[in-house]
Every structure is written in C-alpha cells, then in structure tokens.
Chain A
Amino acid sequence: MDSEFPDPDEEFDLVHEEEYEILKEIEELGKKKGAESGKIENSQEEQRGDKLNISRSNVHEELNAITSSKYNESRTPSTSKVIPSTNNDDFDTDVTKKRHYDELFGDISDMLDTNDLADIQEPKDKKPRWDEPQEIIKAVLDAREKFNEYSRGVSVNRKYIKDKRESISLRVPRWNFVALTRPRDAQRIYLRVKNDEQSKIKTNTHSISNLLSVPYSQLKTEAEEIIVQNVKRANCETSHLPVTKTLENDELWVDKYRPRSYIELLSDESVNRQLLHWIKLWDKTVFNRNYIDNKKKKLNFKFRNSKFVDEKPFQELDNRGFPIQRIALLSGPPGLGKTTLAHLVAKHAGYNVVEINASDERSPDAFRQVLLASTQMKAVIGNDPRPNCLVLDEIDGAPTASIDLLLKFVQGKLIPKGKKDKTKTDKHVCHRPVICICNEPYTPSLRILRAAAFIISVPEVSATKLADRLMEVSRKEKLKVNPDALLRLVEISGCDIRSCIGALQYMGGVNLRDNLSFALKDSRKGLFDSWKQILKIPVNRNGILPLSERVQLVLKTVQNGESEKLAQGIFHNYPEICSDKLNYIALCLKWFQFFDEILFLVGSLQTWSIMPYLNYAFVTWHLYFAKARNIKLSYPSIVYEMNQKHARNIGVLTTVQRNSGHNSIILTVDIAPFLPDLLSPQLRTVSGHLYSDKEKNDINRLVNVLIDFGLTFIQEKNLDEKYDYKLDPNIFEIGIFPDCKYRRTPIHAVKQIIVQELEAERLRRVENAIKSMTKSAQNKKSITSESITNNNVTTNSTTSNSAKICNNATSKPNALEQSKKLQMETKDIKYKDFFGRTITVNQGEQKKLHKESIKSRNFLTKNSVWYKYKEGFSNAVRRNVKMKDLL
C-alpha cells in the first residue's frame, strides 16, 4: 500500500480502512444475529447454533476474502475461528457457495482491481464523511443499536440487495455501467453502477452485503434446514447435553460475555475512538503505513470539494513519525472494561497484545526485560507474526522506579545495559504502542507518567446500556429477571460491569431484588467526599437526619484512616463555611489541639490504643461547622507549600550556620533581620577607583561580612531576561517579611562592584594565608611552638593548604584552574575561623605589612599571580599584556 502515487480511490480506501473494518464487523454480526434470530424459536439448540454461526461467518469471511485482501490487518480472531469437522452440512453449503462465487468472480477477479470494486460499490458523494467523528460515532451507534435489537430477538426490516449476478454482465446492460476489459481474452465486462438511493447506513451495509452470493431468503432457509437437522441430531444425542452444560457453567459469565469485537464494547464511543485513533497513529512506525498523511490527503480531498477548510491540521506525530505522546493512559474506576477496551482496540489495530499486570513482577529489572522483549522483538515462529502492543494493567501499583524506567524507555533515553554500540541508539526507542491502565490517575507514582502520556479517562457506562446488556446476558442464560431489578443492580454497583455480571451469575437472577446489598462495593470515598460528608448536614426526604444518625455517619466516614489528612482539610476549609460564632470556633480549635496532641503521642510512643479517640473530634467539628447549604471545598495545598518553603529556609539556615558558626535560632531571630540592611550600603554607581575612603570602607566591611557568612552573589537571569545578582544562600528570604518595611536594594552596577571586590578579597585572603605560612616557617626555625600560637593561630591550620597551593603554583601553570582551586581553598580556610578574631588580627597585620605594596598595585607580583580568563577568549588578536595591567 505504499505505492508512490496512490490514486484518489486508493487513498479513500486507506483513509477509511478502520471504518471498513468496523462496518464489516457490524455486517458479520448482523448476519450472525440474523441467522440466530432465524432459529431463535429452537432455543434448546444453542450450542449447535453457535457452531453454525461460526461456520457461517467463516463462509462470509471467505467471501469477503478477496475484497478485504487489501487490508493488511487481519480481523478479530473470534470470527475466524473455524471448526471444520463439526458439521458436514455446513461444509456442504460452504462448497456450494464457493462454487457460486467462482462462477461469478473466478475469471475476473484477477483483473478486477479492488479499487475498481470499491469504485463501483461506493459512490463517493454519498458516503458519510468519515473524517467527522460525530457521524461515524452516530453510524457506529446506529449499528450497535441494530445489533442490540437483534440480540433482543427483534427482527428488523432490512433491505437485501439483489444478487451480484445482476451487477455484472458480459453484454451491454440496460442499467448504468462501467466497462472493463479482461486482459486475458480481451473480453468486455460491464459492471453495474449503483444508484444513490440508500441512506447512509444502508450504503455501508450494502457495500459488503453485496458480497452475499446467495440471497438472504435462500440463506435463511438453508440455515433453518440446518437447524432442523441439528435438532434431530441433538435429539439423538441428548446424553451429551448435560456434559456441555456443566462445562459451560464452569466459565465465568464475565469472561463468557466479554465483548469479542470493537462493536460490542459498552464503553462510550468517543473514548473508544480516541484510543483507536491514538493507536492508529503508530501505523507509520509499526506498519510503515501513513495514517496521518492519509488523513491529511483526505482533508485536501475535502478542500477540493470546497467543503470544509476550517478543520485544524493534525499535528500528532513528531518529525520521526512517532506519536507525540507515546503512551496512552486509560484511567477510570474498576469494572468499566478498560482492560477489555485496550485489548480489543489493540487487536483491532492489528497488534498482538502483551499484558503485564500487578500479578507479574514489576521491579525495574524485570520490567526492563519485559519491555525490551515485548517491544523490540516479534514472534518469528508461529502463524501470527503480528507486532506486539504492550498493555500495562494496574500500573498505579507499580513501583515508581519502574515507571521512571518505562518513561525513559519510551522517550528513548534508556541506555541499554551492557551494550557497547551506542551508535545505534535509535534502536532503543520504543517502536510499539504502550497502553497503561490505572484506576487512580493521581497516584503520586504516576505523576511523571501523567505529564507524558495521552490520558483517556473512561467514563461510566450509561445505566440503561448496561442494563440492556445484562438483560441480554440473562436472556441467553435463560434467567427470568425483572428489568427494574437489573437497573437497580446497575445503580447500586455504580455501573461496574464486572460486578453486575458477577452478581447476576451468582444470584442466578432468582431473587435479585432481595439480595441487592450483596453487589455493593466496599466503597472507599475520596477525600473530598469525606470532607463534604463531615462539613455538610445530611438531608433526606424528611429533612435533616436525627443527631444520632448524623454522628454515626460521621464516625463511619472517618473510620477508614487518613484522619490526619481529613483533619487537615477541615482545618483548611472551616473558616469559609462556619458561622460567625467565635465561641464555637475556639472550642473546635481546642479539639484540633487535642487531635494534634493525640497524634503526636501515638507517633512518638506508639500507643495506638488512644487512636480511636481521634474520631470524636470529627463529630464535634461536624456538629459545629456543618452547613446545610452546598459548600465549596478546596484542597489544603498550602500545607504542602509551607512545608516546602520551610524546608528550603532550613536548608539555607544550616548552610549559613555551617559557614558562620552561629546558632540557627540566633541567626533567624537576631542576625538575619539585620543582614539586608547591613549589606546594602549607599554606594554611588561609579567605578571602584572613584570611591571615597568611606565608601571603600563600606565595601570592605560588606565583603568581609559576606565572606564570614559564606555568602556570594550569583548571576541569574530574571524573568524579563535581565541578569541580576542573587544572594546564595539567600538568607534575605529568612530575614525579610512581606510588606513590613521598604528596603533599598543595591542596584545592579553596585552589585557588580561588590562581586568584583569579593573575588579580590578571596584572593587576598589566600595570599595572606601563604604569607603567614612562610612567616610561620621562619618562625618555626627561630622561635618555639608556643610563640606560634600567640603569633598567628590560623597559621598551622592553613599550612597544609598553602603548601598545596605552592605545589600547584609550580606544577600547574594553568591560571584558570588555579584560581578555581584557590577559591575552594579560601572556603576551607573560612570554615576555620570561628569568631573571626584570628583572621582579623591576622589581616590587620598583613595589611599593615603590605600597605605600600597594595598602593603600588603590584603586591601580588611578589608571589605567583593568578588571573582568570573570561569566557569567549580567543587568540585571534594577540597583544602583549603586562601583569600589572591585569591587576
């Protein structure tokens, strides 16, 4: 199908492939049911009938085989399951039909291109527009309706189409025709061009039902014949029946009546289509077919027809042909048929389903193996060489590490273990669709997955639809059930298909009405529901519930644990809803205190026996806070935010504490509030050379304070793309409260100067350290160790460092590296001065010693000199630079 220039008809076929399939299924089902309805009066023979159905559908399939040969995907296996040896009669009909068929098509099929057939069969302008989902949905729904009617045994008037014989002629016919030439013998063949009288659905059905080589009435009589024969046979072999019955009983109805094809799905059509569409997006990668391009062409098609231009262009594939969201995440409460949906859709799109669920091991290692095995390999042996589609069921229970792995894998970032060829990275990109299924999409472990996945939330099945299906099931099982009871069952189960059918099976439908409570789920309410339960006065038909019931209700609500979260939510929400009586609020808050104390006790002493008392706090809150009107609740996210902020501030505090040696409480209470003031002196925005002595002193002091507390300014980009210097660690955040006092912040230029000075001071300190080292070395020669301590305290501690530096200076001429090293060293030294006296004394001495040399601006030249290359240095322009210019 990847011919380079597909003609419009071919395109059309491609575009509508999936619809064809659906329709074909509809058609087959319709026929199946038709046959079934024909023999419904003879209900004892259901098994036989089933066999018949199967073989019948087999017939149709073969009939369709030529037309459908253009579909690469095979159809659902349920229809293609053949039991050839069961029924000789069926076989006979088969043969006859085949002959029939051959008579008609045998000689021309080789040259009758499918396209031409399609051309004949489908007048284009009459086709429903498949690109408009509503219409397809409608069509599918119609078909489903029809199917349901069949299943209920209601016969529908259906127009059956004339025999094919009347559509092909060797002579020039009277009707509209298209002339074709058979290449073999140059024989002209005339094919009928159909009128456009049929309605949408009928057009569809007719396109395939055309293939019925035998008129419906004839088929029906044949079927009836077979049924009669079967009845006779069954009468002979009654002994077999009970055996099969018991066998049948072994199977769960849930499995027995599981939908076998796309059309039988109960879930919402739009959801089904969403998933189908997504999985079809993979066609390009998996089958090398261009699903999207076809869609696009189809759009152009429409454009040519000057109809709709306003539709959005599809942008669902990335440039490599993968869907942008490579994972689909189905979410929804249990029992809605999510797993069934995923399986069916995958099968429908031509995949072989590989399922991993909670029963398999899902540790990252096991997960990786399965992932690789299922997505990169393909069954070589076996007659079913279809690509795999991975279905990860119950993913919300998987460990976070596994989900991480999955995401990395899917995004192609997973580095293969123990594989050397990293050039072939593309090989490890996931080439197969992955469908995840979960009940609760907001599980914390799924958070990252949620961001990357295509999320489809499966809504609840409509109650009537489900009740219909249950009705059908019970009819098939020959149960007499009251439809009302079924509806009630559906209601109680919360539209849980699985539990409904399960209930139906085990109740036997006998006295369903009496035992309804049995289907009730052990429902776990969400937090919001629980909060609502507590903060709203429950009302029934007779008005407000009596107090005792209310208390019972609240106690029941809070029983399921999570009392801490519940209390948090109530605390968060109560000011919005409670009345103005401050007395009551004060009282309730006392209960919060009580709650906190108990919780702390339980937490610290593990005295779980006092835990139950917590629940009574909720009763108080209910009684005082609850309102009859509707309330709006919000999630207490502020707690989380505050915790985050608190943790961040504590982090800042500990870093500063480590650098400065001050107690953290002293830091927060006394020092941090003043630092913003102390660190923002009034400085003019002029070059550093032009500062007055006072300003120079200010800067000096500021730099020293910054170093003492281990603070630096870090250049960061603002929101509005401007560079700004930020303090790091930002202790200002602790000291400054919102709207307390206006503070001036030094402007950018001043900060720049400060940063420069900071760097210089750092270097200078290192310088001093080296100096003192040499001095102490001299001292060591002459004076005893006692005097060293008097003289210079930091000396010893820094000796080793400075020695290292000296080594560096000789061995590594790279200036940049050295300056970096030195900065690190300065930090080390900084740790050591605690009260600072040592360093300041030391500095004072050093400064005096070097005053002249500083003034002459070449004090550094006496030692080794470090300078920093700016980024962007190039040696394109060279000129001589003197050391003193750098200083």
Chain B
Amino acid sequence: MSLWVDKYRPTSLGKLDYHKEQAEYLKNMIQKGDFPHLLIYGPSGAGKKTRIMCIIRELYGCGVDRLRMETMTFETPSKKKLEITTISSNYHIEVNPSDVGIHDRVVVMDLVKTTAQTHQIDPSGQKEFKVVLLTNVDQLTKDAQHALRRTMEKYVATCRLILCANSTSRVLPAIRSRCLGIRVPAPSISNIKNILHSICKREGLTLPDELAKRLAETSGRNLRRAILMLEACKVEQYPFTADQNITEPDWQVYIRNTASLMVSEQSPKKLLAIRIRLYELLTHAIPCDLIFKGLLQECIKNCDLQLKIEIATVAAEYEHRMHKGSKPIFHLEAFVARFMAIYKKFIDSSLEGFV
C-alpha cells in the first residue's frame, strides 16, 4: 500500500520502534508456547493493531501475510440476514463484530464457534490453535460479551482470542479476567518524532526538527494521525519549513468551532445553531463519545477549577446516559444546554462581583 502509514508499518516484533521491552516480553511468551487469550488495549493510534499483526506473524510465520477478505453472512433468530467483512489468513481471522450493531452476539457465537471447531489444517504450522482477532471489543453489547465468555473457555484448545479495545472500562470484568491484558500506551512525542524522521529518511526527504515536534503535538500522540499529517504536509508543500501549515482533521476543527459558539453566547437561538452543527457531525459518522470529548476539552479551557469539575461531571454523566439511549442528539444537546446554563450563571455572578 502506498500511504506511508501502511508502507512503513513494522512487520515483526523485532522491528517495532517503541515499547521495545514489551515487544521482547511478547516474543518470549510466544516462544515459550504458552499463549493465553490476549486483551490488547490502548488509545487509538498507539499501534495496537500493528503489534497484534506482529504477534500473529511471530506465531505462524509469513503465511499470515496471505490475506483474504471475505464477507460472511449470518442469520439472526429473527431471520434477518447480516453481512460482515472478515479478513483472514489460513491461521487467523479478523472481524469487527460491532459492524453489525446490536446483532453482534450472533456474529460472535457463530464465528468463534465455526472457527474454533475446525482444527488447524496445516500440520506443519507451528501452533495447534487458530487465532480469532476481535477488534473494537469495547463496543460490543453486553449480550455479545456474555456469549464470548463461555466460548473462550470451551474452545481454548483450538483457538485463542485476541481482543483489541480502546479502553477496558466497557469490557466485562469476566472477560478481562480470562485474558492477559496488555496495555499499549500512546507513543511519546519523542517516539513519534523519531519515527517521522526515519520515514522521511527512507523517502529521501529532509524534515526540520521543529516541524516534526509540531506534528507530534498536533496529532495528540496518535502515531497514525501524525504520519498522515506528515504526508499531507508533504503534498501541500515540499521542501518543508518549520512553521508550515499543518492539516488538522476537519471534524476536530468543527468541534472546536462548535465549542467556541457555546462559550460565546448562551441563548436558545445559539442552541439551535449548535444543534445543526451537531447533526452535521453525527451524519459524518463521527463517534459521539469523540464529540463529547472534543466539546468538553474546548469548553473547559477558559473555566476556573471549580467550574471545570462541575462541567466534567456533567459531561461524564450525560455521556453515560447517551450510551444507555439510542438518540445521541438529545444527550449532546442536553449537555450543551446544561453547559450554557452553568456557564451563564458563572459569568453573571462574576460580573456581579466585578460591579
């Protein structure tokens, strides 16, 4: 693949650029032959997926590079046909059950069972088990997670699960305890800088150190984003300059602007304007917790500590309620209105004190 993100992705545990110690542990674990279920978690852009692919490669060798993409069909108890895309090699299968929304339980049950029940065909393969890689486990419904729990024990002889999640908070404790949790922290700024430099070197480009630093900072320690930014910068302007314009994702800018609208004026009219912007964000399929997070981060920038605590509490509560409901717009707008109310009160009282 031609995007730098994919082109310079490390392919073996030994070639990983950061958290080398962890990579060493993983390597040792695989060589010992005692391979447990894994739960790999960490922020997005930290290299979880890369690490998992390295693990699988370490387990089975180059055979895993021969990937196929397939769509599997499932039928729910209510006779609804579901389709899900899987990526698989002879040794592993990767699937994102949350693609099918609330029917993920069926996928988990069917897929894991069918995979687990067939034994490894190739006897020359090093391991006698297959790997099922489930991504976005934190978005699985409770039902699906419960279904997972039993299968994990039952088919342990023939298959290992590697679960990949952003945070363990929404993974059932029962599942967490059945897995070896491996946290992949986000790379540090200097890590990212090094990687950016090495990419530029391989591309035959010169990258000013300041720009690398700025890129790393703007990306929010998301390596994938940093590399994409770098490539966008290269398309935009080469040779690089230190104070070059860095492309930020539009949705981030949009959320920031929305938040500044919230701070600038508190009235039902503004609320209506903000609602339209929220709809816009939602239709672009931006995950709603990211919207919440973005709004909160911007809003509390010019609040004092007391207010920060209050607003963060409210945001946490409202986000939690959002996950219990099905219409994010209600909850987002509720948060916006609540923030406006709190902020207006705060501004008014501070003005009074001033007078």
Contact = CB atoms under 8 A, between A and B. Distances in A.
A708 B87 contact: no
A834 B67 CA distance: 6
Interface in A325-366: none
Contacts of B269: 575
A622 B83 CA distance: 44
A582 B330 contact: no
A835 B67 contact: yes
A789 B66 CA distance: 9
Nearest to B61: A789
B6 interface: yes
Nearest to A677: B232
Given A576-B272, A583-B341, A646-B283, A674 B232 contact: yes
Contacts of B287: 665, 668-669
A599 B325 contact: yes
B102 to A, nearest CB: 7
A597 B280 contact: no
B136 A665 contact: yes
Interface of B is mostly: helix
Contact of A575 (B229, B268, B284, B326): B268
Interface in A714-760: 733-738, 740-741
A831 B331 contact: no
B352 interface: no
A548 interface: no
B268 A585 contact: yes
A845 interface: no
Contact of A734 (B232, B285, B331): B285
Contact of B268 (A578, A653, A708): A578
Nearest to A577: B268
Given A646-B282, A836-B7, A582 B340 contact: yes
B337 A658 contact: no
A834 B268 contact: no
Nearest to A652: B285
Contact of A589 (B3, B99, B330): B330
Contacts of A805: none
A666 B235 contact: no
Contacts of A638: 276, 279
B32 interface: no
B241 interface: no
Interface in B4-44: 6-7, 9, 11, 44
Interface stretch (A73-81, A206-214, A404-412, A698-706): A698-706
Interface in A586-602: 586, 589-590, 592-593, 595-597, 599-601
Contact of A663 (B135, B225, B250, B280): B135
Contact of A836 (B2, B136, B247): B2
Interface in B247-287: 247-254, 257, 266-269, 271-272, 275-276, 279-287
A671 interface: yes
A839 interface: yes
B44 A666 contact: yes
B253 A649 contact: no
Contacts of A838: 65-66
A589 B340 CA distance: 12
Nearest to A681: B235
Contacts of B85: 654, 657-658
Interface residues of B, number: 77
Interface stretch (A144-152, A171-179, A303-311, A790-798): A790-798
A600 B333 CA distance: 18
B257 to A, nearest CB: 8
B121 interface: no
Interface string A549-586: 00000000000000000000001001110101011011
A600 B325 contact: yes
B109 to A, nearest CB: 18
B96 interface: yes
A704 B2 contact: yes
B327 A596 contact: yes
Contacts of B87: 661, 834
A734 B284 contact: yes
B63 interface: yes
Contact of A674 (B7, B44, B231): B231
B66 A735 contact: no
Nearest to A568: B327
B334 interface: yes
B102 A658 contact: no
Contacts of B331: 593, 596
A663 B69 contact: no
A596 B325 contact: yes
A835 B321 contact: no
B231 A678 contact: yes
Interface string A668-700: 111101100110110000000000000000100
Contact of A840 (B7, B69, B268, B338): B7
B349 interface: no
Contacts of B65: 793, 835, 837-838
Contacts of B210: none
Contacts of B284: 649, 668, 733-734, 737
A736 B254 CA distance: 10
A600 B66 contact: no
B45 interface: yes
Contact of B225 (A575, A650, A670, A839): A670
B228 interface: yes
Contacts of A576: 268, 272
Given A701-B2, A708-B1, A669 B44 contact: yes
Nearest to A707: B2
A289 interface: no
A404 B156 CA distance: 55
B272 A653 contact: no
A737 B1 CA distance: 27
Contact of B99 (A596, A664, A735): A664
B197 interface: no
A500 B251 CA distance: 61
Contact of B68 (A589, A708, A832): A832
Report which residue of B135, B282, B284 has the largest number of chain A beta carbons within 10 angstroms of its beta carbon: B284
B351 interface: no
A793 B68 CA distance: 12
Contacts of B254: 737, 740
Contact of A649 (B285, B324, B344): B285
A94 to B, nearest CB: 73
A833 interface: yes
B69 to A, nearest CB: 5
B66 A797 contact: yes
A838 to B, nearest CB: 6
Interface in B306-355: 318, 321-322, 324-327, 330-331, 333-334, 337-338, 340-341, 344
Contacts of B99: 654, 664
B236 interface: yes
Interface of A: 571, 574-576, 578, 580, 582-583, 585-586, 589-590, 592-593, 595-597, 599-601, 603-604, 638, 642, 645-646, 649-650, 653-654, 657-658, 661, 663-666, 668-671, 673-674, 677-678, 680-681, 698, 701, 704-705, 708, 733-738, 740-741, 789-790, 793, 796-797, 831-840
9 contacts: A585-B268, A586-B340, A589-B338, A600-B324, A642-B283, A673-B247, A674-B249, A740-B257, A835-B65
3 smallest A-B Cβ distances: which pairs?
A836-B1, A673-B249, A704-B2
Interface of B: 1-3, 6-7, 9, 11, 44-45, 53, 62-63, 65-69, 71, 85, 87, 96, 99, 102, 135-136, 222, 224-225, 228-229, 231-232, 235-236, 247-254, 257, 266-269, 271-272, 275-276, 279-287, 290, 318, 321-322, 324-327, 330-331, 333-334, 337-338, 340-341, 344
Given A590-B334, A596-B331, A832-B69, 13 more contacts: A571-B330, A585-B337, A592-B334, A593-B334, A595-B330, A654-B85, A665-B44, A677-B232, A680-B235, A681-B235, A740-B257, A797-B66, A840-B2
